[in-house]
């Protein structure tokens, strides 16, 4: 998968991750994955996914919700709690959890995989739950909704597709 920075620089995701000048850069990737298993999970929509290059403050599971670390808005993240609005999802295409100090991507808007904390119906509004996961948002007007489930989860710890949109303040 390749990505394109908004300043027109093109590169491979996570290539030369020690380039500090790239921290905070926003780019776009296409929602596409060529394996049959992923096609069954509703990938390959071709929709844009907006991403941001950040440094991880700890070990976070693929697809976990993260927020800006105090004093590092836009460049460093830590795990978001249940009552906190997140700023993105740890790159769901990684093959393993992050480690403290790693440089990588968070997905900030578009279709992506998230981790359920309980059963979730398709088309349900989503908000944050404990341990970087999502849960159905049934509270009206709490301003914590982060997206909408594209597919259902029958229980906790399932990766499901969702259309998410995280604030970048």
Domains, in order of start, for the chain: 2-165 (2.40.300.10)
Check residue 70 and give its pLDDT: 93
pTM listed for this prediction = 0.78
Distance CA 10, CA 128 (A): 32
Check residue 43 and give its pLDDT: 60
Which DSSP letter does residue 36 get? H
Tens place of pLDDT per residue across the chain (169 aa): 444 444 434 444 444 444 556 788 898 887 776 555 544 445 667 788 999 999 999 999 988 999 999 999 999 999 998 888 899 999 888 888 999 999 899 999 999 888 999 999 999 999 988 888 999 988 766 677 899 999 999 999 998 889 999 988 7
Check residue 34 and give its pLDDT: 57
Check residue 121 and give its pLDDT: 94
Check residue 108 and give its pLDDT: 95
DSSP H helical ranges for the chain: 36-40
In the chain, which ranges are E strands?
Answer: 2-5, 10-12, 26-30, 48-56, 65-68, 76-79, 88-90, 103-115, 125-128, 134-136, 147-149, 159-165
Check residue 22 and give its pLDDT: 78
In 94-166, which ranges are E strands?
Answer: 103-115, 125-128, 134-136, 147-149, 159-165
Which residue is listed with tokens 């119906």?
121
List all residues 6 or more positions away from 36 whose beta carbon is below 8 Å from its beta carbon: none
**16 burial level (CB within 10 Å; 0-12, 13-18, 19+):** exposed
């Amino acid at each position: 998968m390749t990505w394109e920075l908004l300043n027109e620089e093109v590169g491979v995701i996570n290539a030369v991750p020690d380039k500090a000048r790239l921290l905070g850069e926003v780019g776009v990737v296409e929602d596409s994955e060529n394996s049959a298993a992923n096609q069954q999970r509703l990938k390959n929509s071709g929709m844009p996914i907006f991403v941001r290059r950040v440094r991880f403050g700890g070990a976070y599971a693929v697809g976990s919700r993260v927020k800006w670390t105090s004093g590092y808005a836009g460049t460093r993240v830590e795990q978001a709690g249940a009552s906190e609005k997140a700023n993105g999802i740890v790159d769901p295409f990684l093959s393993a959890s992050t480690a403290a100090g790693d440089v990588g991507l968070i997905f900030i808007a578009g279709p992506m995989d998230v981790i359920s904390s309980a059963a979730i119906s398709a088309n349900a509004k989503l908000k944050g739950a404990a341990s970087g996961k999502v849960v159905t948002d049934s509270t009206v007007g709490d301003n914590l909704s982060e997206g909408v489930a594209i597919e259902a989860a029958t229980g906790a710890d399932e990766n499901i597709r969702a259309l998410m949109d995280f604030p970048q303040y």
